[in-house]
Structure 1
């Protein structure tokens, strides 16, 4: 007499998709490190939110430090990948310079965890980001693209000056991030709510105007 097939147990654990599991852990880790910094972040909270165990953290990343480095790499990869969509060289230099400022301003405003992670890493004096060759390697092509934009704009007399691309980018970053990083204190000093959407929209226009005026293309360009 043949035996009836045995039904699988209801609590059978399905095998995890390693790519998805790693991505889920990394997403939670970015949030945890952004909120609490490296020292305040807890692996226990990460594993609970990612619905995994500590063994998986060590399996996929090697430990807390390596997970933190992976979080830094991931947030920089995200912005660098988006920056490639600007596609410098496909429009006139003035329009592309404006797009650079608008993109940077909007990205910072819409990606709070990115700014939080960078603020926390600065408190550590860049201890961990200095260990990331990946971040340096992925950033150089974008700086080079800004340099080519400046050169093209200057040669065609759209720009009246030819600044160092790093200097220009740092200026754009400062115009786009300083008010976000210092909203609580600076807002109190000047007596305005720097988180107010109307104020931020005015700040966005100002950032574009300042950058284009420096490059010598503000007059006659609709902003």
Structure 2
């Protein structure tokens, strides 16, 4: 049982670290949305076209989809097993003191992120791949206009902001949990790992949160 649990946690850790790397690339690409409008439209649409037409990127995309599925499925399995093993009710429970809020509520955070991904894939990935979008001056599908229209709606921005806050809590716990699972959380490096985790989480979360706000208020 312990070996199975460890295997599941290793899969979660490895897929999670891959997704962390993807978030960096994704955020860097989305930073083009901060450019002046004409330049942002041209470069963002070119970037989107390049990603969808490159065989290497397509291969990485399939690895990404597989990683997302495995990460979610194995996290669910571990959560269910943990709930079963901790199924006894205690008269006095101090887990709220012993562990951080996000570590005790990864199921809630994961559910929020799953719903967010469904919305995100439907409104951007599906729209780009399977609908007839207008073409920009360079002959590329105008995904930039889709992004601007989406983030021009306050309710949509609020959904994204709440989701990114959930992402931040999820990343923070996941970063530390993965380092422990992979045997990297050594006492000598605890401080460095914590600082790195906080810096990474702050940049990723803050960067993604800034984009909808920038477009909405612009």
Q: TM-score, normalised by structure 1?
A: 0.30
Of structures 1 and 2, the one with the larger relative CO (CA 8 A, separation 6+) is: 2
Higher share in helix? 2
Whichever of the two has the greater Rg, that structure is 1
